[in-house]
Structure 1
Amino acid sequence: MASDEDHQVYCQPCDEEGTGLPAHGYCTDCKEHLCKTCFTAHKKNRLSKHHKLLDATSMPKVLQQPTTPIHTGLSDDLTTPCCKHSQEMIKYYCNDHKNLLCSVCVTLEHQPTSCKVDYIPDISGNIIDSKEYQIIFKALNTTFDHYQQMVADAKEMMGKSNRSLKDALEDIKMFREEINLRFDELERQVMHVVKVVEQENNSNITAVETFCEEVTKSLRISSEKIKLLNTSKQANTLFMELKLAEKIMEDVEKTEQQLSTYDVKEHHFDANETILTKLKTEKSLGTLTQKTLNKECHSVQIKSRQSSHEGEICLKTSKDEFRCWITGMTLLTPDLLIINDHNNNAVKMVDTSSKSVSNQLQLGDKPWDITRVINAELAVTLPYKQTIQFISISSNKLIKKHTMTVDGDCCGISCYQGKLVVSLRSPAKLQILDMNGTILTTIDGRNIFKDPYYVTSNRSSIYVSDWDMNTVSRLNWKGEVIGNYNGMSAPRGMSLSDDGTVFVCNWARNVIEEISGDCSTGKVVLQDLNTTVTLSWCGETKKLYYSCYNSDEKKDNFLYIYKLS
C-alpha cells in the first residue's frame, strides 16, 4: 500500500489549486494528468476538445516533465476577474481582437479556429522592461499629461467664460449709465426751458405789481388832496388838481393797455412719443453674443498680411497756426476718428468716409494721447498741465467737460471698463484710476520702464511702449510684468487688434510692427513709413490709420490709411 501511494499520480490543474485529486486521464497536447472532472471538461471545451486524451489505463503512470515550461507558479497573479464573467479570471489574450479573455470568453466568442488566442503566462515572459513596455508606458504618461492638461485648460476656459460674463454685466451697467446720462441731459434741456419761461413770468408779474402799487399810491394821494381842497373852498387850486388827476388817469390807462399785452399762459408737458414708442417696441436692452473660447497659446504665430494703400486724409485746417503733429487717436466708429493735434493745441473730429476734418476743439494747451471712456465721452492727456481733459460729443461737435488732475506729466492713456490707465514721466510710473480720479494702483517704473509714452489695455493685459528702453511691456491689472517684447527702436503709439495682437509704431525704424498678445513674437506689417508716431486699427474694415512727424509739412499734415488682410 505504501508503494502504491508513493506512485499515485494526481490531477495537475487541480494540484495547482491545492485540491489533490487522483488523475483519471492524460492530455498529450497539454502534457497534463487530469482528474475525472477535468478530463470530461477537457473533451467539451472548444479550445481543447480536439486534444488527444489517454484514459486511466493508457496514461503515463508517473508525472511527466513537459519540454515547455509548466504554468505552475506563473498563474498566481492571474486574479483579475473578467468584466463579462465575474466568476472567471482573465487568463488569455486574443491577438486578433486585442482583447483580454477568460475561459468562458474563449469558449463562446474567440474559438481557436477563428482567433489566435494565447495563454498569458506563455507570452508574458519577456514583457519586463521590454520595448513594448517602454512605448506603452510612455504613451500612457503622455496621454495622462494630455488629459490632465485638458482638465486644467477646461478650468481656465471656464474661468475666462465666467469672467467674460462678469465683464458683460459690467458692460450692461455702463450701457445703462450711458442711457441714464443721455436722459439726464435731455431732462436738463427741458428743465432749462421751464426755468427760462418761469423767469419771464416772474419778471412780467413783478413789473405789473410795481406799476399797480405806484398808481394806487399816486391816485390815493391825489384823491385825498382833492377832497381837502374841496372842503376848504380853494377853487383855483382844486381846479388845477382835478385837471392833474385827469392827466394822471389818462397816462395810467395808456400804461395799463401796454401791460395788458403781457401774454401769460399755462403750460403742460408733451412727452416725446418717439422715445416712448421705441422703448415699448424694443424687446431687450441688448444681446449677449457668444465667441468660442479656445485654449490660449503661449506663443502666438503672427500671420502674414497683405497691405494696400488706401489714401490719405488732410488734417490741416484754417484754424491751425502750425503744421500738424498728431500724437494720439482713437476710432469711435469705422467712419469717425478722433485725433490730437499737439502742435495746434487741438482735438479734431475726422470723418473717414468723406476724408475730412468735420469739427475742431481748441484746448489752450498741448494734448498728447486720447482714449474713449464711454461711447460719447473721451479723455485727453495734457502733460504740461498734469491734467486729463474730458470731452463729450454732442450734435457732431466736440465739447469740453470737466478736468482731472494727476500727479505727474501724463502721456499715454487707456480706458477699460471704467478704469483709466495713465503713464507718467519723471519719474516713470503707471497709475490705474477710477473715473473720479481716485488712484487704485501705482506701478513704480523702476526696472520696468524709463520713458513710457503710450499705453493700451484689454481685459487681461496692459501694454506700455517705452521710448527709452526700446520695449513693449505687458502687465496684468495687478501691475505685474508678464511679458516683454525687446529689440524695437523708440516705440510709440499702439493699437489692439480684434485678434488680441498689438500694432506698434516703431519710430526710429520707420515701420509698424504687429506683436503677439503675449509679447513673444512680432512681425513688420508696414515699412518705409517716415517716422511713425501713433496709429489706430479698425477691425471691421481691416484698415490701419497712422500719423508721422519728420518736419515735412507735406507728410505731417496727413493721416495715412492702409488696408491689411
Structure 2
Amino acid sequence: MEVSGKRRTKLTYSVSHGSAEDFVLFCIPCDRDGKRVPAKGFCTTCNEHLCKTCYKHHKKPAPTRNHVLLDEDSMPTTHTVQLYQDNFESCDDHQDEKQKYYCRDHDIVVCSVCVTLDHRTCKVEYIPKLSKHILDSEELNELMAEMKSLEEVCKLSIKRAKDEIKAISENHDKVIKAIHQFRKEINTRLDDMEKIVVEDAERISDKTQMILKSLSTGIEDIKDETVKKQVCLDNLIQRNCLDKLYVEMKVAKKRLIQIKMKAKQHSRINNNETVSFVKHQAIIDMLEKYKQLGEIVKSSNSENDAMMKETSTPPEDTSLNLEVVEEIDMKSASDTE
C-alpha cells in the first residue's frame, strides 16, 4: 500500500531482468500502464524510450509537439535505471521539516521532529532506503492492480449512470407523451359530449320554430279568410243584394264560429317557451376535486415499460376516526376455546 504524504514525482525505468546480453529496452509510457512494449525510439526532451506507437503520436499533442526525437538507430542503448530525486512533502505539523521517515507501527510517514516527539519507541525507517526495491515489491503491484480494478469499476459505474440517464430521459418522453395522449382523449370525449348537448338544443329549437311557423301560417289563413268574408259581405251590401247577403251572412256566421275555435286553439300554444343549459353537478364536483389529469408514480422495476397507472384512485381518507363501540360475543355452545 502506498504511503500517504509521499509523492513520487517521476520514476522511469527500461530494464529487463536477465543478463546484459538479454537486455531489452521498453517503452516508458506503456510500462507505466503495465505493458511491456519494446522501445523503437527516444525523446531527448522527456528522456524516455518510446515504442513505435508512442513514437508516432508523440509530436501530435501540443505539450510534446516540439520535443526532439531519436529513431531506433540513434536512440540510447543504455540500460541505466533513471531515478529522479523525489520531492518529499512538508510535514503538516512541522512545515520546515520533510517527511522522510516511515513508521511501521502507525503506518504513516513522518518527519524527524515527529520521530523525536511521538515515535521514539516505534519502528521507524528511512524512506530512501525502503524505496530502492519498491518497483519489484508485491505491495506496489497489488496497489496498481487494485487501482486498475477500481478504475474498471468506475468506468462500469459511469457507463451504467449514462445508461440510466438515457433511460430516464426516454422514460420522461414516454410520460409526457402519455399525458398529452390522455389530454387528447379527454378533448375527444368532451367534443362528443358537447356535440350531444348541442344537437339536443338544436332539435328543441327546430321543433319549436316549426310549431311557431305552423301557428303563424294557420293564423295567416284565418286572417285571409276573415278578410275575404268581410269583402264579400261589403260588396253585397253595396249592391243591395239582400237575399244573397242573407245567405252569406248565415254562412259567414257559422264559419266565424269555427274560425274562432281554431284561433283559440292556436292561442293556447305557448310560443314564449325558452330552454337553458344546466351543468352536470358530477362534472363540476370532479373538476373541483381533481386538480390534475393524473399522478406520476415510481416503479421499482426499471425495465418495466408500464411506468404509469392507467387510472388512479383517490387517496384513502385518513381523516376518519374509528372507535370501538361494543364487543359482540361470537362464541357458540360447541366452541371448546
Which interval holds the TM-score relative to the shorter structure? 0.5 to 0.7
How many Å separate the matches in 2 of 1:189 and 1:150? 58
1:235 aligns with 2:242: yes
**Aligned positions of 1:329-478 closer than 5 A:** none
Q: What CA distance in whole angstroms lies between the structure 1 residues aligned with 2:297 and 2:209? A: 55
1:205-228, Cα deviation, whole Å (9 max, x unpaired): 110111112221222122111101
Distance in 2, matches of 1:201 and 1:213, equals 18
Q: Is 2:255 aligned against 1:213?
A: no
Q: Tell me which residue corresponds to 1:143.
A: 150
Q: Say whether 1:90 aligns with 2:99.
A: yes
SS of corresponding position for 1:191: helix
Structure whose alpha-carbon radius of gyration is higher = 2
Match of 1:268 in 2: 276
Match of 1:156 among 155, 163, 181: 163
In the superposition, the TM-score normalised over structure 1's length comes to: 0.36
Q: Name the counterpart of 1:121.
A: 128
Secondary structure of 1:118's counterpart equals strand
Residue 290 of structure 1: CA displacement? 2.9
Closer/same/farther in 2, CA of residues 188 and 132 from structure 1, 3 Å limit:
same
The answer to whether the 8 A contact 1:79-1:89 is kept is yes
Of the three residues 174, 185, 190, the one matched with 1:183 is 190
* Identical positions, percent: 27
* Alignment length (residue pairs): 225
Query: Do the aligned partners of residues 290 and 202 (structure 1) sit closer, same or farther apart at CA in structure 2, a change above 3 Å counting?
Result: same
1:131 to 130, 134, 138: 138
The residue number in structure 1 matching 2:201 is 194
Q: Matched residue of 1:124: which SS?
A: helix
Q: In the aligned structure 2, how far is the partner of 1:86 from the partner of 1:139?
A: 32
Q: Provide Cα deviations, 1:64-110, integer angstroms capped at 9, x if missing partner.
A: xxxxxxxxx9893143344555443332223344333333443444x
More strand as a share of residues = 1
Q: Secondary structure at the match of 1:238?
A: helix
Within 2, Cα distance between the matches of 1:75 and 1:117?
24
8 Å contact from structure 2 (residues 222, 263) kept in 1: no
Partner of 2:330: none
Conserved in 2, the CA contact under 8 Å of 1:92 and 1:100? yes
SS of the residue 1:77 aligns to? coil
Aligned amino acid, residue 220 of structure 1: V
Higher relative contact order (CA 8 A, sep 6+): 2
Q: TM-score, normalised by structure 2?
A: 0.57
| Equivalent residue, structure 2, for 1:281 | 289
TM-aligned CA distance change 1:235 to 1:217, over 3 Å: same
1-structure distance, mates of 2:93, 2:201: 88
Q: Of the candidates 285, 290, 298, which is equivalent to residue 290 of structure 1?
A: 298
* Residues 101 and 127, structure 2, Cα contact 8 Å, conserved in 1: yes
Shift of 1:204: 0.3
Structure 1 residue runs of 4 or more that deviate by more than 6 Å after TM superposition: none
Report deviation, 1:140: 0.8
1:80 aligned partner: 89
Gaps of 5+ in 1: 1-72, 297-457, 460-497, 500-565
Counterpart-to-counterpart distance in 2, 1:140 and 1:185: 67
RMSD over equivalenced CA pairs, Å: 3.1
